[in-house]
């Protein structure tokens, strides 16, 4: 049985049509796509804020919406928690009162303890403060905590990191991972960041102009030609997980299975697990290792996929995890790149961005 069954059609003024159907069974799902593709509208339909022209939405076996039968549960009847991009905390209530509002309006069968939410989301020092005295990251943590305390059967998050700067995004990502690990609340989140999808999601539905153009695991769906060719696409995102980090000669070195990755200098000690992000264009490919270069990282792998998009070819390489490189079309023939051919990925230290 699927966690969520969704099929809806809706026409907006100006001619934009939304026509999407999908089944979700995974714990964390991302709705991914460019601005204006219909992601937020889908969340609104699931939450009950938007009634489509036609459709049916089931949460487990409960019917949330069935336009043919005239069923459309009010938002408070759906047992769904929502975290908005702009937080929408009550400005006249302190943090503790905002959290207890969620607790008093518990919608689902889940019973989540206030003390545990405060502990996991690190809100103890904020309880006596008003939202106006919080940073953007602190407000987002409170908003997530309030949604959790409503005991939802499903948690919806509309671009929860969009309004935060890069350093705060990294911290909130870590909190979202804690939420998933601690409470296992099925979650759907909207984003247009591939790195967020690859780090958090088990499944992704990719939208373009009100239609689903691909769905699958992040590695599968994001590597298809349709998503890679989306307007304003930056190509595939590289996000490698490091489960071990050691300091050697004053420099941090991470482990990728049996291989090493030299990391850029950091003002604070790096701890595992950490993630390393970089662009496919930062990767230089060679058919053979080339010792004596200034490039510190030489990662051995095998080609798993080649995807041609516009004037570039994206190459997926299995190094224990999937790493993407961007090459010119003529380089494919010059390097004799083909599925399962061995290749060396050369990567400069300064091109790496570590997300601790």
pLDDT value at position 235?
67
Q: Which residue has the higher pLDDT, 226 or 78?
A: 78
- pLDDT at position 230: 61
Quick check: do 4-223 and 239-355 share a fold?
no
The torsion angle over the Cα atoms of residues 35, 37, 39 and 44, rounded to 10 degrees, is 110
**Band of pLDDT at residue 110, cut at 50, 70 and 90:** low
Provide the whole-model pTM: 0.80
Please, what is the Cα angle at 177 between 176 and 183, to 5 degrees?
Answer: 85
Supply the pLDDT for residue 356: 67
* Banded model confidence at residue 234, pLDDT cuts 50, 70, 90: low
Contact by Cβ (8 Å): 199, 239: yes
Coil, strand or helix: which one is 224? coil
Q: What's the whole-number mean pLDDT along residues 285-306?
A: 90
CA separation for the pair 315, 41 (Å, rounded):
34
CATH number for the domain whose boundaries are 239-355: 2.40.50.100
Domain boundaries, the chain: 4-223, 239-355
Which tens digit of pLDDT belongs to each residue from 335-349? 999 999 999 999 999
Whether domain 4-223 has CATH 3.30.465.10: no
Max mean pLDDT range (30-34, 36-40, 264-268, 315-319)? 315-319
Residue 234: cis peptide before it, omega within 30 degrees of 0:
no
pLDDT over 90 at 102, yes or no: no
> Is residue 229 over pLDDT 80?
no
The predicted pLDDT at position 31 comes to: 94
Q: What are phi and psi of 131, to 5 degrees?
A: -55, -35
Mean pLDDT of the region 118-129 = 92
Q: How confident is the model at residue 301 (pLDDT cuts 50, 70, 90)?
A: very high
Report residue 253: phi and psi, to 5°: -130, 125
**Who's near 41: CB < 8 A, 6+ residues apart?**
10, 18, 50
Q: Three-state SS for 95?
A: helix
Q: What is the mean pLDDT of residues 155-176?
A: 78
Per the prediction, the chain carries an average pLDDT of: 87
Q: Residue 325: pLDDT above 60?
A: yes
Tokens of 131: 């939202």
Three-state SS letters, 277-318: EECHHHEEEECCCCCCCCCCEEEEEEEEEEEEECCEEEEEEE
């Amino acid at each position: 049985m699927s966690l969520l069954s969704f099929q809806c059609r809706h026409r907006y003024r100006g001619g934009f049509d939304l026509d999407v159907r999908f089944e979700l069974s995974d714990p964390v799902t991302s709705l991914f796509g460019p601005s204006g593709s219909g992601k937020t509208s889908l969340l609104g339909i699931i939450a009950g804020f938007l009634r489509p022209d036609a459709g049916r939405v089931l949460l487990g076996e409960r019917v949330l919406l069935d336009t043919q039968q005239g069923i459309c549960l009010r938002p408070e009847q759906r047992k769904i928690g929502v975290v908005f991009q702009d937080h929408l905390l009550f400005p006249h209530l302190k943090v503790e009162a905002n959290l207890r509002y969620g607790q008093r309006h518990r919608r689902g069968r889940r019973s989540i303890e206030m003390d545990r939410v405060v502990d996991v989301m690190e809100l103890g020092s904020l309880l006596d403060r008003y939202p106006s005295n919080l940073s953007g990251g602190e407000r987002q943590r409170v908003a997530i905590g309030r949604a959790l305390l409503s005991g939802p059967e499903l948690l919806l998050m509309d671009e929860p990191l969009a309004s935060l700067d890069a350093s705060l995004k990294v911290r909130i990502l870590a909190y979202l991972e804690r939420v998933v690990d601690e409470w296992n609340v099925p979650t759907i989140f909207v984003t247009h960041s591939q790195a967020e999808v690859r780090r958090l999601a088990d499944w992704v539905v990719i939208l373009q102009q009100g239609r689903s153009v691909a769905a699958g695991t992040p590695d599968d769906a994001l590597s298809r030609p349709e998503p890679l060719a989306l307007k304003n696409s930056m190509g595939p995102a590289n996000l490698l997980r490091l489960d071990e980090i050691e300091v050697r000669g004053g420099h941090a070195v991470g482990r990728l299975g049996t291989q090493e990755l030299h990391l850029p200098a950091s003002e604070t000690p790096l701890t595992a697990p950490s993630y390393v992000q970089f662009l496919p264009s930062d990767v230089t490919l060679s058919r053979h290792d080339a010792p004596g270069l200034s490039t510190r990282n030489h990662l051995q792998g095998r080609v798993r996929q080649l995807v041609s998009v516009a004037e570039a070819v994206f190459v997926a390489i299995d190094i224990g995890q999937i790493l993407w490189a961007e090459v010119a079309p003529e380089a494919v023939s010059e390097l004799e790149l083909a599925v399962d051919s061995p290749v060396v990925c050369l990567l400069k230290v300064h091109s790496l961005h570590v997300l601790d």
